Structure 1
């Protein structure tokens, strides 16, 4: 997926402050060959960040501090379990931002790692904005290029 300049600059700043750590992990499957990787984000103890730990110790407390989810935790110190509160919501945010900006479904499918744009449509079509105004602007811009200026509806009278 394309890496926006803002994100690239933020990653560079993070990597200046916290140098990437090289660790060895299995490749493709848990039993796969071990391959060295440089991790940009690591756990407090070093090594890889486990999604389940990140979700409960960093992600959900940040959402609660931002007022996006209730701050209440259960007797075990866990936040309410809700799919829309997990890091998976970042995929939906990314897809929605691209679709709102008018990115085509084939590109969104590729960026999301889907093998088929049809899957992307089935999963994210509810996020697609109403395109009536965008369609009007597209046709207007074609006519403006052809005729060189905007004559408006009075020209046809």
Structure 2
């Protein structure tokens, strides 16, 4: 319900009631301006973009703090969301005043500060989830981040560093005895850092030759350890080779396990090892063998590349790595799968070998 009436002083009073029955009114010098305002309100209510004046007065940060308390997040996710909103240059601006230019200026400031494109994409994605939640709650008429240009990310095949088999061998041989399982489990089972921290002896099944990944250990902002299921619900059972089981059995026999829970790696006060401890020893190990800059996570890429090179399909690799979907696996490793050119080349080589009875090596040695 809306109306517009002339007041005694000659101005025009336009008013309407929202869905909750609350009256809103504004005064205009001209009737046409008041009618235009009412038409805009009506159009917004019909199209679903209407925002009550009170809701729009909330700042982005105030809305986020209330909204975040209702979300079911892991500690790491909440930490990343807090960081993104805190770094946002328009967190103190009322939602009704937000414009696309605010988002563009923020992106530009992050780029000027030297943040990596991947970091910028992640922060914008997190803040965008807050803005879209505000739209759904009718506190914001439209998402101002929609269509904002972001810096180009590096192609996956250029950004990914995969250690060579010789590098993995050097790392394993140079590692201290208690640290060898860290290298082996990352390179030959694809475990993440938090999953390595959370591995217990009971998770290793020597007869079916598998490892169950059912927990991870992460450090919380309060400098405490948190034990919880793996990220994105990526609990899984990984088939492992006999050679890896032999490494683990030797570790159990010669180094032992830790605490009543049987943690594979030594921690504190009977608990799991701290992520920072593994990171410290990893840095020492890479410096020792001259591979400084190689990350522990790069061994997970090494494992994935080996599975793909051996002919494993997307779903098999997804399950082994604990990705939440096959699309995540493809987005990360699609460049490692053979393409049509590779298959054509291999097929042609097989045809030549069968028809002409020679290989590429025979050509090089024919005149020797």
- Bucket of the pairwise TM-score, normalised by the shorter protein: 0.5 to 0.7
Alignment of 1:20 onto 2:257: yes
| Distance in 2 (alpha carbons) for counterparts of 1:49 and 1:42 | 6
> What TM-score, normalized by structure 1, do the two folds share?
0.61
CA distance, structure 1, for counterparts of residue 344 and residue 258 of structure 2:
48
Q: Which segments of 5 or more consecutive residues in structure 2 lack a partner in the other structure? A: 1-237, 358-368
Equivalent residue for 2:325? 116
1:10: which partner in 2? 247
What is the number of residues matched between the two proteins?
117
| Counterpart residue number, 1:47 | 271
- Number of the residue aligned with 1:107: 316
Match of 1:136 in 2: 347
1:46 to 1:99, Cα distance in 2 relative to 1, 3 A: same
Query: Residue 43 and residue 129 in structure 1: after superposition, are their counterparts in 2 closer, same or farther (change >3 A)?
Result: farther
Q: Establish whether residue 97 from structure 1 lines up as the match of residue 306 from structure 2.
A: yes
Length-normalised TM-score, structure 2: 0.28
Q: Distance in 1 between matches of 2:257 and 2:329?
A: 33
What is the CA–CA distance in structure 2 between the aligned matches of 1:102 and 1:42, rounded to whole Å? 36
Give the counterpart of 1:87 among 281, 290, 296: 296
Partner of 2:355: 152
Larger radius of gyration: 2
Q: 1:52-91, aligned counterparts within 5 Å?
A: 52-56=276-280, 58-69=281-292, 85-91=294-300
| Match of residue 105 from structure 2 | none
In structure 1, the gaps of 5 or more residues are: 24-36, 70-81, 144-149
Contact 1:96 1:127 in 2 (8 A): yes
Helix, strand or coil for the counterpart of 1:49?
coil
Contact 2:258–2:267 (CA<8 Å) still a contact in 1? no
Cα RMSD (Å)? 3.0
Q: Secondary structure at the match of 2:259?
A: strand
Query: In the alignment, is the contact (CA less than 8 A) between 1:109 and 1:120 conserved in 2?
Result: yes
SS of equivalent residue, structure 2 residue 262: strand
